[in-house]
Amino acid sequence: MVTIKMKRIYEKAAPTDGFRVLVDRLWPRGVKKETANIDLWDKDITPTTKLRQDFHSGVLSWQEFSALYKTELTNNPVLDSFVDLIKDKPTVTLLFAGKDTDHTHVKVIIEVLEQKMG
């Protein structure tokens, strides 16, 4: 079974990160693509622009955002192919740029992936 972790892209890459996937729709500021040490940039499993903007502008609470994003992600046709891609990896680290590690879409992704993969 795959171990899924989360980490800010600004933290130094480590061998224990395993397969590193950037899961932000926008490329993080100040990070050079050549030195990002990512294996994949998957924009397709991130929240839609409107959902992300509504959350960051305060239109949606964390609870509302989480529920809406969970539904959005569960209904996203690329989710199955993402699961197929990572299911045989021992460790996958989902990378993101946000400063708030408690209220990040990555936590929702991990929850949905863990439910889907059993």
52: Cβ–Cβ under 8 A, 6 or more apart, which residues? 25, 46, 105
Q: What percent of the chain has pLDDT over 90?
A: 98
pLDDT beyond 90 at 13? yes
What's the pLDDT score for residue 2?
94
- 46 in Cβ contact with 25 (< 8 Å): yes
Instruction: Kindly report, residue by residue over 86-98, the tens digit of the pLDDT.
Output: 999 999 999 999 9
pLDDT beyond 90 at 64? yes
Edge-first strand order for the sheet with 19-22 is 3-8, 91-96, 19-22, 40-41
